[in-house]
Structures are given as C-alpha cells and as structure tokens.
C-alpha cells in the first residue's frame, strides 16, 4: 500500500525559495518545473518503496539526490513519507537542520 506524502512548512519554504530564485535568475519557470517533476517522480517511487532513497545517520531519514545539487530529505513512518527539507547542497552543510 502506498504511503501518503506530507510536506513540512520548512520543506515547502525551501522549495518555494529555490523555485523563486531560479524563476528570477533565468527569467522563466522552466527549470523550476523540471525540478518539480523530478521531485514528484522520486516521491512517487518513495510512496511505494520508502527505502528507495539513500540512508542518513538519522533513524528513518533518507534522501534523494535531485538534479546533482539538491537533496530531498524525508522521514518514513508507518503511514507517511514526511518531506523534511529540500536542500541545495552548495550551501554550508553546517547550517542544515532536519
């Protein structure tokens, strides 16, 4: 049975900020739309195969690498895939809080 996807407010803000940056930087939403399709694709896989993402050192937290520079961190529960962060890997890793 497929799990339900839930986005935290932090992850939603991450995604909005990244999309806004690219929309302004290139003057188009084309790249943001590409990222969104990649995100949705990975989440569809995770709904059915929750452990498809790579493991972290935190229990039940995994991630997918999205387009070489973004990590989509998610937590697995019995009923949900909870998207915790959509992180640009070019940022200081010391500031990442999941």
Residues 24-35: tens digit of each pLDDT: 999 999 999 999
The DSSP 8-state label assigned to residue 2 in this structure reads P
Q: Is the dihedral of CA 61, 38, 93, 29 positive or negative?
A: negative
Q: Is the pLDDT of residue 93 over 80?
A: no
pLDDT of residue 57: 93
- Residues 66 and 83: beta-carbon distance below 8 Å: no
Structure token pair of residue 9 = 């407010």
Report the CATH number of the 4-89 domain. 3.30.2310.20
Span 33-76, pLDDT tens digits? 999 999 999 999 999 999 999 999 999 999 999 999 999 999 99
Q: How many CB atoms lie within 10 A of CB 65?
A: 14
- Please name which of 93, 45, 52, 95 lies closest in space to residue 69, comparing C-alpha atoms: 93
Q: Is the pLDDT of residue 2 over 90?
A: no
Alpha carbon 70 to its chain's center: 7
> Where do the structural domains in the chain lie, given as residue ranges?
4-89
Per-position b or e across 9-31, b if 16+ CB within 10 A of its CB: eebeebbeebbeebeeeeeeeeb
| Residue range 12-27: mean pLDDT, rounded | 95
pTM across the whole model: 0.90
pLDDT of residue 18: 95
Q: Is the pLDDT of residue 8 over 90?
A: yes
């Amino acid at each position: 049975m497929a799990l339900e996807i839930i986005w935290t407010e932090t992850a939603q803000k991450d995604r909005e900020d990244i999309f806004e940056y690219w929309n302004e930087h290139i003057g188009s939403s084309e790249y943001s739309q590409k990222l969104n399709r990649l995100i949705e694709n990975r989440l569809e896989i995770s709904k059915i195969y929750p452990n498809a993402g790579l493991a972290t050192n935190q229990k039940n937290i995994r991630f997918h690498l999205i387009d070489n520079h973004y990590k989509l961190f998610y937590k697995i529960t019995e009923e949900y895939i909870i998207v915790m962060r959509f992180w640009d890997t070019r940022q200081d890793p010391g500031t990442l809080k999941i």
